[in-house]
Each structure stands twice: as C-alpha cells, then as structure tokens.
Structure 1
Amino acid sequence: MPFRDDRIQIQLSPKEEIVFKRSFFTFVALLVVLSLALAACQPKPTEAPTQPPAQQEPTKAPEQPTATTAPEQPAAPAFEGMKVEAPNCDYGGELKSIEAVDAQTVKFTLCYPDPAFPSKVAFNVFAIVDSEYLAQVGGDSIKMSDAPVGTGPFKLKSWVRGDSITFEANPDYWGEKPKYQTLIFRWSEQSAQRLLELQSGQVDGIDNPAPEDFATIEADSNLQLIPRDPLNIFYIGFNVDLAPFNNEKVRQAFAMAIDRKKIVDNYYPEGSEVATVFVPPALKPGWSDANPWYEYNPEMAKQLLTEAGFDFNQEVKLSFRNVVRGYLPTPDKVAQEIQAQLAEIGVKVKLNQMESAAFIDSTAAGNEAFYLLGWGADYPDATNFYDYHFANDNNKQFGTLFPDIVEPIRKAAQISDPAERQKLYDEVNAKLKEHVPMIPVAHGASAVAFTASVKNAMTGPLSNEPFFIMDPGKDTLVWMQNGEPAAIYCPDETDGEALRACQQIFETLLLFKPGTAEAGPGLAESYTVNGDATEYVFTLRKGVKFHNGADLDANDVVASFKAQWDAKDPNHKGRTGTFEYFGAFFGAFLNAE
C-alpha cells in the first residue's frame, strides 16, 4: 500500500511481520518493567501509606493521628521502700534496722549475731499483715480479730464468742489450697467431753485427750491417736518480789517439798519425764545434768522455812487455770496434789482457779505470787525457753530479773559454738537452782486424736497442726481444743489457743514444715545471711494477696515488725500492750520510755 511522500513506506512479508510484532511486544514489556523500577526510586506519593517504612520521614504535613502518636499513659509510681532504724544499739534491743530494699526484698540488720533468727521469724506472732489495713485498725488486736486480714489458707467467716469460730477456705491462697471448704473451732475444758464428741462424730479432731484415755483411743478402729514429743516444761512459778516468796530460803524450801516424780507418775501419760532443768532434754545445747534439781526432802524443807521465819499460820494462794496442756494434762488434780504435799510440811494452800485469759494476763503482769504454768516450744532452741522467761524485761511473771542469770543467757544467744553455749547454760541452771524463780516439774508427753476418716491428720512438736493439708472426706472439718482464744490477731498473745487460731489466717516470712519444727520457705521464698549472722535478707514470693485483695510487698513486712518494735508507732497497741514475745525474742523496744 503506497504512503504519502512525508512517510517512509515499508512493505513486510507475512513472516517478517510476525517477527516484528514479537520484537515490538518484547520491547514494550521491557519499557513497562523499566518504568516500574524507576517508579520505586521516586519520592513517596503525597498520600502516606497506612504504615510507612521504618526511618522514612513523611513528605507532607501533618500526620494523621495514629496509635503511636496518642498521649502516653502515666507510669506507675516508683516503689518507695520503708525503713525503720535505731540510732544505735545502745537502746538494748537486737534489731538495728529493717528495710524494704525493693518491693520484693526485706533486709534485717542486727546489733549482734543471732543464729536462731530464722526460727524466730517463723513463729506466728510475727505474721505479716497488710500495712494499710493495720493502720486503719490502729494495731488494735480486738478490732483486727473481728475482721482479720492475712494471707493464710483460711479466712474468718464468723466468731460466735463463747461458742465457736468458723473459717472458710481462701480461694486465692498462694500455696496448696484446703481440700474442704469450712474449718470450725470449738472448745471445752473437759477432756471427757472432747473425747465423747470425737467418739460420737460431732467433731473430727481433739487436742490433748486425757492420759487415761490414750489406750481407749488406740483401741478404737474409728479413731487415730497422734502423739507429740515432749518439747515443753511444766513449772511452779513464783514472783520473787511478792511475800512470802520474796525470801529465797522460802522458795528453796518449797522446791524441796515438791515430789516431782510422784506428780509425773500419777498424772502424766507414758513418755513424760521428770524435769531436772528448765529446758527439755531434746534441746542441746541447753539441757545437761551438770546441775540437777533439788531432791525431794520434806524435812529439810520444813527446817528451811523455820530458818526463814515463815509464818505457818498464813494461807498462801496457788493460782492456776483448768485448761489442759501438753505440759500439764490434769491441772486441777496436780494443783490438789501440790496442795497436799505442802500440807505435809505445815503450809496451808488455798487453790485459786481462774479463767484462762484472765490468768495469763495476771501472771504476765506480775500479779500472781504462786502459780502453775508451763511452756511449749515455739521454735527448737534453748533461747526460746531461757531468754523468754529469765532475760526478758517484758515478762513480769517472776518479778525482778536476776542479773547473774540474765548475763549468761544473753551471751549464749549470740554464740554459735555448742560447747561454749553449754558452759553458759550450765551457769544459768546453777543460778536458777540457787534463786528458784520457779520449780521445774515435768516434760509432758501429749497427743491429738482424729477420726480415722481424716487423711493426712498430724500434729507437731510445736502444736502447729496443718489443718489445710488434711482431708476429712467431706466439706467441713470440726476441731475441738481446750479453750477459747482471747484474740485472732496474735502479736500480743501468748496463749496456745489463740496462736493456733491465728495460724489459720496469718503467715510469717518462714513457715514451719508440717509436722516438724523445721523452718522453711513461707511468704519469703528464700533468704541469705552474712558470715556473722547479723544481716538477713529475705526475698518475698510474687503474687501473694491478702484476704482483702491487697498485694504483699516489702513495706507490709516492715510495717508489721515496726508495730511491735517501735513503742511510739501508732499501731503499737495489741490487746494488752505487753508484746511479750517480741521482748523475749528481740530485747528492748525502740523508743520505749
């Protein structure tokens, strides 16, 4: 076909035309690819993509609001750790400072070495409470008892005074949760009633069955008897400041007039021992036979009383409570026996049976001149016996302390070497025998009893029954003990009935392993101690909650200890304000007047 003269006219054969078209299309394809490559190198289009490539600055003004440009949320406030510190150690106590290093770390710095410190902080009067709630109730044990806030496996549901206490399982417990929903505490002073209710199935477990009932329980296939080791002491106490016991010869005479073996043989179960010193034989250093107690000698006792000018016409009052304890299984019968033995040397004794809490408060205040009392171990060390009773400014029961007893006791507490400690305790025992602030009588074997259907039933040498791991095979476990607690918040309590109730609700930095006197992890999962045992650092568990939903942190630990240690702390109230255990374990209060 001809072209106009301004065009080049090319005539192609059919085959050439096909080749040409193929080349042309190839050329066009290359142009498209090249265009795309060039486009990728060009500046970004004005419409910014939804997510620009990293480090690519926008080419157009103002960005549209995105999640990355939203206002930042305020950061959680930094943890402000509490610290309480004595200006120096001249105030007379063991603690130098307690510091919340961070939210999960607490450091205790001591004025002198204390190898027993871990066991001390495992005792449940040193339970950790929510610091805010503690401030709300002002450290008042009675207010706290109405609505206690702890971290333990049970929470308080109700306390019907004079009747029972009902606990319910804590669903948010950090440890092994109870296998049943409800734990009920009841009480009776009468061992016969406790056994009858156990046999009839009204209760699932009882404390301290009478010695004469041990064989009956063991012979009953529906019941189980679980013995306790005799880690205790029963003693006859004197206030050395109150007449007629302000005369040392009178006290020595009474010591010779008491037939301790007769008391143990007639009123204690098998496995009990006559006491020769104040601590049980299992605690060594502490116990030894270097200074055994006076032999029974009524004739010498009467002679000493005569030399002392004792008035045989007077009537002396012997106070006691009729509450069964492992160290004293039959209080009323033993009181009558002592009354009869003293009558043999011409001493007239009037028995004064008191209500349990009133008796404890009165002896602690130093108001009883002559009384029956005892002690079960809180932790397995002689300091728990000697220091609490004879080197404790807060314990008034024996009257004025004896410096020649206090000094070796306090020295022994700061020494790790067993042989050196024992030398000092031998001095202590010799001086106790000389001054006679008490008469050691017995180390009593005791037991608990449960129905056979209760699995994992157990007790321990510290009377710390782990109810939360028991399995009654039903929704409720009912326990019957010897008396009603005075409170269910225990920094200011010494009575075993209260301590057992507190143990269900409150927990300590370390906890005694079930059925033992061995301290292991508790609210603290671990701790470290320096070489001379003057600095203990505890690491708290994470995720532990109080019953009110508050999270456990290190400030709760500092506040809980400060409420006992610092006499001017607004939470230093308790029930009586005595805080005997703190004084016994850690010496003087901070800021005491």
Structure 2
Amino acid sequence: MSRTRSTAAFALASALVLSLGACAKSDRDASGGGGGGEGGGTFTFGAAGAPKVLDPYYATDGETFRVSRQIFQGLVSFKEGTAEVAPGLATEWKPSADGRTWTFTLKEGVKFHDGTPFDADAVCKNFERMYSQTGAGATAAASQYWADNFGGFKGGKEPSLYKSCTVKDPKTVDVTLNRVTSKFPALLGLPAFSMQSPTAMEKYKANDVKAQGEGFAFSEYATKYPTGTGPFKFGSYDQANGTVTLVRNDEYQGEKAKIAKLVFKIIPDESTRRQELQAGSIQGYDYPNPVDWEALKSEGNQVLVRPAFNLMYLGLNPKANPELKDLKVRQAIQYAINREQIVKTQLPEGASVATQFMPDTVAGYNKDIQAVPYDPEKAKQLLKEAGVEGFTLNFWYPSEVTRPYMPAPQRLYEAMSTDLQKVGIKVKTTTKPWNGGYLDGVDVGQAGAFLLGWTGDYNTPDNFIGVFFGDTTNRFHTASYPWGQKLSDDLEKADSIVDEGTRTKAYEGLNKTIVEQYVPAVPISHSPPALVLAKGVSGVTASPLTDEKFAQVTVSN
C-alpha cells in the first residue's frame, strides 16, 4: 500500500542501533534454513526499502506497513488473499439504526506484548490517542492516514468523521461517528489504525512528534518500542546492516508463529534482491521485474501473482503548469498517451488499460466508460485550439523505487515522454528518489505531470476516488479548478449514502464526470504485482492489498 501524500521522515540518531537482548546482533547472514514448526528457524525477506517509522499510526509507506502487519492487529482484518473484511481483534460488529454508532465485541484473553490487557478500555484509549493529536501530530503530513480517513482532530477547525468511543463492558465498545460512511468498519483494517499498547504509548511518549526540517522527529516509542498484539514482537532495527528483526510472540493468543525469527533485509535494488535470492541469503522478495518471472520460475522459485487491485496514473498539476488549467490541454494529454502500447510492452501479463480511477472489482466502477483512444492528431488539434502548441511540461518520475502498479518507473516515463513529444509537447525532465524528494516535491506542487499510483486499502470507492479527489488540497491541486470544491462535496455525499444500490449509482456517475468533464489526471493501467518465494517456502498467501502475513511461514531445505 501507498498513500497519496508524502511520508514523514524517520528521524533516528545516527549511531542508533535498536535492540532487544540477543536480537541486537546483526542478522545479515541469517538464512532461512532450519525452518518449520514452533521450534525455531528464520525467514529472511528482501524488503524494497527501509521502514520510515515503527509506529504505524504515523506511517504511510508500504515497507513500514509490511513490518507493522506482523507486529500489530486491528479491530478488523481482511480474509486471506482477498479484500473482504474479516474479524480481527473484534469478533463481530453491528451498526445502530442510524448507521453512526458501531458496537464491537472483542476477543477475550488477548494481551499486548508488554502484558497490558487488550480490552474495551484499550480500544478507546487508542481512538482518543489518534483523535487528540496536538502540535505537529495534528497535521495531515504527520498523521496522514487519520487525516485521509477520519479528517480533523479534537479541537481543530476541520470536521472529523470520529465522534466518540464508549466502554460498555470489558469486551464491548461503541465507536460513534459524526456521519454515515461506506468505509466503516473496513478502514479499521488498515495498519495505521492498529491497536497499540496504551501502557507503552504513555511510558515512551508515543504522541511526542515534532517537526524537524522537512520531516518529523518521533519519540522512542516509534523508534524502539512499538507494542502490539500480533504473532511477532519487535526485536531490532540494525541500520548499519540494513535489517529489521522480529521475534516470535510466545504469548500470542492464537496459532503461534512457526518460525522463531523474521528478518526483513533492506535491498532497494530489484536486481540485487534477485541475486540474493539466488545466493540463498534471502528466501523471498517483493516486486520482481515482470520480465524475470519466467526465469525465476525456471530456477525453482515460486512467483505468486496478486490480483490487480491498483491503479497507475499520470498526475496533472496546474500549480506547476498553468497551461493545465485548460480542459483541452488535459484532454490532449489523454489522447497523446498510447496506453495500450504501454500495457503491452511495459507491464506484466494480466495488466489492463484503466478507463477510470478504480479497478472493476470496486462497487461504483462504471462499465459504460470507454478508454480514451490513442489519437495524436486529436491531441495536436486540442493543443492548437488551446493556443499552447509547443508548451513545456514539467514531467517528474521517481527513482530508487518499485511499486506494485509501477514496476519500472524510468521505462514508463520514457514511453509517455516520447508520446507527449510526438504531439509537440516539450518535456522538462525531473527525477528524484521516491523518499528523497520525489513525493515531497509532488505534494508541494513542483511537478506539472508526475507518475504515481495506488494500491487499494479496502474495497470501497471512497478508498480510490475519495482519497484522490475528496479534499481540494490533494496533490492534483483541484482547488485550482472551479469544480474542485463541488467534486469534493459530491464525493462526501456519495460516501454518506446508506443504501448500497443508490450509493453505487452515485459513484458510477461521479466516475463518468471525473474522466469526461474534469480530467484531473490520466488513468493509465491496472497491473498484477507479484512476490517471489524460494523453493521450500510455504505458508504465504498473496494478497491484493499486499497484506501478506508471515506467521505461518515454514522453510525447508
């Protein structure tokens, strides 16, 4: 998963090596041998990047969430291999007649890793902690997932979806909202809203977040003591060796992890991840290059292909390129991009051209919308009518990253840049590392056009077009358009419709309006990402949400 705004920087002391007892030593050479059963063994996974912060509430990046999913649990979860909501720390839930109060029945006998009981009081303390952020924490930049999903904070000017949390008894809790929303309770399955130990958060000052340069400095809770209820506990983050180590939670209520240790070895380069898999120093990695899938299989590895629950788009921002305020210019760019050729030559088998800003499995997808055809002559005509022939587009693409929807950013950029130049648009190229200036630059409006995308967090339309365009301060800068506020308001109204059929039709209409009348960006493709496991690894189910859990992994030699 990845969010639409930039992630906060993870501020750690330069010499800091986080450790817990024996886990402090480097696991660089740990192999996956000696695998199965609860007796021991290590599984080492090649991570595409380092976690940015260990407190998932402040996180936004997939690599942090990959670690968080092993340590923490939410009130709800998702059925393995699907986007279907399933019980988590809550065994069941039901809404009130007006749809605003949800009653959750909690699992009993669960404890956090520090021994604190998980109960209704802990749930309410978590919600109040998230809602009651102050200072730097009460900003969308620091608490992005809360801002994107719940809105404002206690005492702030912006309205919040969250209203209150009430303990009914130790195993029953009411969560009350200020309005009906289609995304509740599914959004509680996001790692950002995981239940965390109230004791540890208070002891280690979890809410102590301060602005620091272009990012944030977090408390020692977020750097040393993340405390959840999951099958693994945090062990160490050895920055020098680039490894995050988790250890089995032997007090876990449920089926305990089959391995004693789970290591995430940070390897940003995809080709290097493949080489380490071949050498046996890791037993799996994510986002293999699609051109390598068959070769990986022929070497005896397992290539698990996820459903394409994602979208890649070409973002357009009039703040950096005023020419983009003209609808004809945005439409010209739509016609200029040869999306069918990009899907055919740059993306894996099973990829498809996107007609709108959500996959066809999401309620609200409009089957009547046809993909805008590749028509360079039409593009030239529109540019001429707009009076901007030969204008220069500030086009950005990211480096040092591989995303589920964007396996090779440079090649995708080159294909689109070539298409744009064919219709007379000049291109000024900027490339920056994903977490080294790219996302920040896009967010503050420096890029006129930019490559980004989205992997769904849960299966609702609000999680796609609501996240993209539901706030006029989004990275498309829709406040620059006369229709920006109306679109934001219309999306919130659609999300609040109680009747599912009526809500679906409202979203179908909004999808049509967005791609035909507004054109705030160009939807490019849906792409099925994969992950690779070595021969002998079992117990992993590929998830469309990239929600893979590793507790049941076994490794045989």
Q: TM-score, normalised by structure 2?
A: 0.65
Partner of 1:282: 361
Amino acid at match of 2:492: R
Task: Specify which structure has the bigger relative contact order, considering alpha-carbon pairs within 8 angstroms and separated by 6 or more residues.
Answer: 1
Unmatched 5+ stretches in structure 2? 1-120, 132-152, 210-216
Partner of 1:453: 536
Is this contact kept in 2: 1:405–1:431, CA < 8 A? Answer: no
- Aligned with 1:169 (options 229, 238, 248): 248
**Mapping 1:291-306, distance limit 5 Å:** 291-306=369-384
Partner of 1:112: 179
> Partner of 1:198: helix, strand, or coil?
helix
Taking a change above 3 Å as real, the CA distance of residues 229 and 152 of structure 1, as seen in their structure-2 partners, is same
Cα distance between partner residues in 1 of 2:283 and 2:328: 50
Cα distance between partner residues in 2 of 1:105 and 1:367: 48
Taking a change above 3 Å as real, the CA distance of residues 436 and 317 of structure 1, as seen in their structure-2 partners, is same
**Mapping 1:313-324, distance limit 5 Å:** 314=392, 316-324=394-402
Partner of 1:142: 218
Cα distance between partner residues in 2 of 1:374 and 1:392: 17
Is this contact kept in 1: 2:316–2:521, CA < 8 A? Answer: yes
The answer to which of 401-410 and 86-95 deviates more is 86-95
- Aligned with 1:390 (options 464, 469, 472): 469
Cα distance between partner residues in 1 of 2:200 and 2:473: 27
Q: CA deviation at 1:96?
A: 2.4
**Mapping 1:218-297, distance limit 5 Å:** 218-221=297-300, 223-244=301-322, 245-283=324-362, 285-297=363-375
**Mapping 1:201-216, distance limit 5 Å:** 201-216=280-295
Taking a change above 3 Å as real, the CA distance of residues 154 and 116 of structure 1, as seen in their structure-2 partners, is same
* Greater C-alpha Rg: 1
Taking a change above 3 Å as real, the CA distance of residues 336 and 89 of structure 1, as seen in their structure-2 partners, is closer
1:413 aligns with 2:528: no
Q: TM-score, normalised by structure 1?
A: 0.62
- Aligned with 1:188 (options 267, 271, 293): 267
Is this contact kept in 2: 1:365–1:397, CA < 8 A? Answer: no
Amino acid at match of 1:123: L
**Mapping 1:542-561, distance limit 5 Å:** none
Partner of 2:484: 402
**Mapping 1:573-584, distance limit 5 Å:** none
- Aligned with 2:511 (options 415, 425, 429): 429
**Mapping 1:431-510, distance limit 5 Å:** 431-433=513-515, 434-473=517-556
What is the CA deviation profile of residues 153-204 of structure 1, one whole-angstrom value per residue up to 9, with x for unaligned ones?
Answer: 2222222337222222223223322111221112334332222221221110
Is this contact kept in 2: 1:243–1:369, CA < 8 A? Answer: yes
Q: CA deviation at 1:343?
A: 1.0
Is this contact kept in 1: 2:302–2:532, CA < 8 A? Answer: yes
Amino acid at match of 1:121: L
Cα distance between partner residues in 2 of 1:395 and 1:314: 23
1:335 aligns with 2:413: yes
Is this contact kept in 2: 1:322–1:332, CA < 8 A? Answer: no
Amino acid at match of 2:365: W
Taking a change above 3 Å as real, the CA distance of residues 174 and 227 of structure 1, as seen in their structure-2 partners, is same
Q: CA deviation at 1:313?
A: 5.4
Taking a change above 3 Å as real, the CA distance of residues 313 and 377 of structure 1, as seen in their structure-2 partners, is closer
Unmatched 5+ stretches in structure 1? 1-78, 475-593
Partner of 1:124: 191
> Partner of 2:329: helix, strand, or coil?
helix
What is the CA deviation profile of residues 470-522 of structure 1, one whole-angstrom value per residue up to 9, with x for unaligned ones?
Answer: 11248xxxxxxxxxxxxxxxxxxxxxxxxxxxxxxxxxxxxxxxxxxxxxxxx
Percent of aligned positions with the same letter in both sequences? Answer: 29
Amino acid at match of 1:188: I
Partner of 2:73: none
Q: Name the Cα RMSD after superposition.
A: 2.7
Partner of 1:178: 257
Is this contact kept in 2: 1:233–1:441, CA < 8 A? Answer: yes
What is the CA deviation profile of residues 358-408 of structure 1, one whole-angstrom value per residue up to 9, with x for unaligned ones?
Answer: 323333444433110000011112221011111135634444272332233
> Partner of 1:146: helix, strand, or coil?
helix
Amino acid at match of 2:503: R
Taking a change above 3 Å as real, the CA distance of residues 225 and 112 of structure 1, as seen in their structure-2 partners, is same
Taking a change above 3 Å as real, the CA distance of residues 459 and 145 of structure 1, as seen in their structure-2 partners, is farther
Is this contact kept in 2: 1:322–1:353, CA < 8 A? Answer: no
Partner of 2:100: none
Count, aligned residues: 394
Cα distance between partner residues in 2 of 1:343 and 1:396: 24
Taking a change above 3 Å as real, the CA distance of residues 394 and 156 of structure 1, as seen in their structure-2 partners, is farther
